Amino acid sequence: MLLFTHPVCIRHSAGAGHPESPQRLAQVLAALDGLRDLPIEWREAPRATREQLLLAHTPALVSSILDVAIEQQHRIDDDTAMNADSPEAARHAAGAVVAAIDAVMAGEAKRAFCAVRPPGHHATRAQAMGFCLFNSVAVGAAHALVQHGVKRVAIVDFDVHHGNGSQDIFWNDPRVMYLSSHQSPLYPYTGEPHERGAGNILNLPLPEGACGEELREVYRRDALPALDAFRPELVLVSAGFDGHRLDPLAGLNLEATDYAWLTWELMAIADRHAHGRLVSALEGGYSLTALRECSLAHVRALAEAELVAA
């Protein structure tokens, strides 16, 4: 498998004390460095081009991130801010997903993980919000549709917060299935089951306190059959690990083993319908301990699948 990252992603900062801190990615990369015995090829993420960003975002949003003069801090809203390195970090985060998709579509690998920040799934077509500047997974999905002629892309989002941005961008696009499991009610207070788009949106809200067995039942009963019926040619994952029981910003009770189970199930979907092609990108996760454990479990599963296939 491939792992894409870039040093500038650690230099992005939304301000002192912000939960989406540089230390998050530093901890993930330190944990993943311990997997050097597994078949993981590390690659430096390129920058997304403006043209690639415009596949998912309005010109006004792209300009508001890339063309603003920043000396120390530029605040977008109460939760979302940039420093001077943030525009480049956001470009490389999106560029990682684009490059990962190019690689799996070219047959260079079946699976890839993008260890990047800022996260992306709250960024709508026209608005940066919720710690997110560009929606990296949405940019990648749009790129797959346009550049690779993929007819069916599935985005599976297991971040504890609903990915309102991904839902917004693909609301009326039946080529993209957006499937989200998330705590409800919780920020951004979207993601109810009746939000269906063009029939391509599947929201699976979980109550506060839900544990791993409840998550697994929802996937066995609803999510996995829906993905099988959709038959995606490419599976993209918004991999947020803030559903872990230690996370300070939410209230689910998941464990690292639940994320490993879910990773194997999504790889099975990709194997059945997409020649194994799966690209995952880091989203949320704000307990450093949990983020280390869960990202390690997720990427270990992706890499161990290579050994099983061999």
Exposure of 30 in the CB half-sphere (CA atoms within 13 A):
12
From 308, 310, 309, 302, select the one nearest 41 (Cα to Cα). 302
Helices (H), the chain: 8-11, 22-32, 50-53, 59-66, 86-105, 136-147, 164-169, 212-218, 224-230, 256-273, 288-309
φ, ψ at 192 (rounded to 5°): -80, 155
Q: Is 148 a catalytic residue?
A: no
Cα 7 to Cα 90, 107, 197, 296: the distances in Å are 12, 26, 37, 19
Rounded to whole angstroms, the Cα distance separating 257 from 141 reads 28
Rounded to whole angstroms, the Cα distance separating 83 from 79 reads 14
Neighbours of 162 (CB within 10 A): 29
Among residues 122, 244, 273, 298, the one annotated as catalytic is 122
φ, ψ at 125 (rounded to 5°): -60, -35
Exposure of 160 in the CB half-sphere (CA atoms within 13 A):
29
Which residues belong to the active site? 122
